[in-house]
Amino acid sequence: MIKVENLTKKYAGQTAIRDLNFEVGQGEIMGFLGPNGAGKTTTMRILASFMPPTSGRASIAGFDIFEQSLQARAHLGYMPENVPLYNDMRVTEYLNYRAALKSIPHRRMSERVGDVKELCGLREVENKLIRALSKGFRQRVGLADALLHEPDLLILDEPTIGLDPNQIRQVRELIKNLGKQHTILLSTHILPEVEMTCTRVIIINKGRIEACDTPENLLGRIRTAGGVTLEAKVGADDAVTELKRITGVRDVSEADDKGWKVLSLRVESGADVRPEIFRLARERHWEVRELTARRATLEDVFVEITHSDEPG
């Protein structure tokens, strides 16, 4: 559905993305992850024909997005990070207007607008002014707009940004349902959502693709296989330094909780450091109230790949 070859974009001498190569197959939900400024939004804007690249090629549904832009865009629904809406229009009025701009035949317009309102849960606000909508409903209106012309592909740039936990859950379920009928390229900072929703993941850092695989395979490849949490009273000891000396511990962070130290350890794959931590705590006479291991998550993968300031 998407094919990207050697895509590069430069701004005033600064390279935003460099030689990107990836494909997204029909029916996939592809997560597109990276730190702020990594090049995610630039890539999505190029794919949506909002801006040209400096070099390289890309196609959607077999149509070149530069030479056959209209045909490519007919297969694409794009929801930008900040959805541009007309605040003085009512929801149904706005969707009718957008349907007309997308050349949806007049005889089908009412049906399509009704379908996307139902799909995106907009019936209860269909007669409200957009300016009166919550952030969550505004995001739904943007998604309904992207779906109006029945595209094969949806490109969603941070669709849950600014939403509360309940709204995030609702949008996640909506995206899952859309994935049954659409190919989706999804950019988000909510990594657990990606782990639960996406079939494959691209991680981009400093304009380059660092990884592209299933969440399961990425978890199997990283050196850190989760971590350990220790909560203890350590007195005057420098617990972080002591714990970093244990073989298999890669990093330690600490926080305070009413006199207790909460120490989070990142550990090497296959290493169970809990017996060594217990021995250290016993030798130092630390009072321990918790010592638990946790499994690796996509967040661990993300940190491992994008934390370039740490030794390899």
pLDDT tens string 238-280: 999 999 999 989 889 999 998 899 999 988 877 789 999 999 9
Q: pLDDT > 70: what percent of the chain?
A: 96
Name the region of 205 (left: φ>0; alpha: ψ -120 to 50; beta: rest). Answer: beta
3-state secondary structure the chain: CEEEEEEEEEECCEEEEEEEEEEECCCCEEEEECCCCCCHHHHHHHHCCCCCCCEEEEEECCEECCCCHHHHHCCEEEECCCCCCCCCCEHHHHHHHHHHHCCCCHHHHHHHHHHHHHHCCCHHHCCCEHHHCCHHHHHHHHHHHHHCCCCCEEEEECCCCCCCHHHHHHHHHHHHHHCCCCEEEEECCCHHHHHHHCCEEEEEECCEEEEEECHHHHHHHCCEEEEEEEEEECCCCCHHHHHHCCCCEEEEEEEEECCEEEEEEEEECCCCCHHHHHHHHHHHCCEEEEEEEECCCHHHHHHHHHCCCCCC
Query: Which of the pair, 180 or 245, is modelled with greater confidence?
Result: 245
For each of the domains in the chain, give its residue range(s) and CATH number, in order of start: 2-219 (3.40.50.300), 223-295 (3.30.70.260)
pLDDT at 309: 47
- The pLDDT of residue 82 is above 60: yes
- The pLDDT of residue 281 is above 60: yes
pLDDT at 175: 83
Q: If pLDDT is split at 50, 70 and 90, which confidence band does 312 have?
A: very low
pLDDT at 225: 58
Average pLDDT over all residues of the chain: 88
Q: If pLDDT is split at 50, 70 and 90, which confidence band does 310 have?
A: very low
pLDDT at 183: 93
Ranking 72-86, 211-225, 239-253 by mean pLDDT, the lowest is 211-225
pLDDT at 246: 94
Query: Which of the pair, 312 or 199, is modelled with greater confidence?
Result: 199
- The pLDDT of residue 132 is above 70: yes
What's the rounded mean pLDDT across residues 145-169?
Answer: 87
- The pLDDT of residue 293 is above 90: no
pLDDT at 124: 93
